[in-house]
Chains A and B, each alone.
Chain A
Amino acid sequence: DVKVTQSSRYLVKRTGEKVFLECVQDMDHENMFWYRQDPGLGLRLIYFSYDVKMKEKGDIPEGYSVSREKKERFSLILESASTNQTSMYLCASSLKEYGYTFGSGTRLTVV
């Protein structure tokens, strides 16, 4: 069964900490995405990548960066966590124009 695995289901971090969210897919997909999900706002795209070492900003990249050193792994980095980054973070992968496969999400709380 194809899978997108996010390393943590729940995280609690302090304001100012550097936070790493890891995502691994086993489907050999070219495309990988990071979204955040907040009530009433739906899913908003933070960053995406179409290939190894390639990244593009989404709609809300401020305060985030990403890394894709290997095809199967796409990492989201919060350089200095703030309370307004408390959210559900969802990683997804896709093959060309086909539908996304999502991970189970990481619920991040910044205190």
Chain B
Amino acid sequence: TQLLEQSPQFLSIQEGENLTVYCNSSSVFSSLQWYRQEPGEGPVLLVTVVTGGEVKKLKRLTFQFGDARKDSSLHITAAQPGDTGLYLCAGARGAQKLVFGQGTRLTINP
């Protein structure tokens, strides 16, 4: 059973467009993290959100944690080819263990 569902699983858009990736669960998490993974490398942490309703910005990326701490979204404004990669959300379920979503593979076309 996948505790975290990401959507869409694949997304291919043109440079300059906006996009949103969703991460949903029926479980409550103490925190939620977003990672980006490039081919042949391990995931790299982008952000951690802890408080329900929290919004964090990282340049053109905006991360939001749902009020009930069951879901999160990642919004990218004016996407660039360098944003291409696999985006993973991960929820903490106590004792520092993370459970990961299946990932969203994003391709930004020049």
Contacts and interface: CB of A to CB of B under 8 A. Distances in A.
A103 B42 contact: yes
A60 interface: no
A107 B6 CA distance: 24
Nearest to B4: A42
B92 A48 contact: no
Given A41-B102, A42-B88, A42-B103, A96 B96 contact: yes
A64 interface: no
Q: How large is the interface on B (under 10, 10 to 19, 20 to 34, 35 or more residues)?
A: 20 to 34
Interface string A26-38: 0000010101000
Contact of A104 (B30, B31, B41, B97): B41
Interface residues of A, number: 27
Given A50-B96, A97-B30, 15 more contacts: A4-B42, A9-B40, A33-B97, A40-B102, A42-B2, A42-B101, A45-B98, A48-B97, A50-B95, A58-B97, A92-B42, A94-B96, A97-B92, A100-B33, A100-B43
Give the 6 A-B CB pairs with smallest separation, nearest first: A102-B42, A99-B45, A42-B102, A43-B100, A42-B100, A102-B43
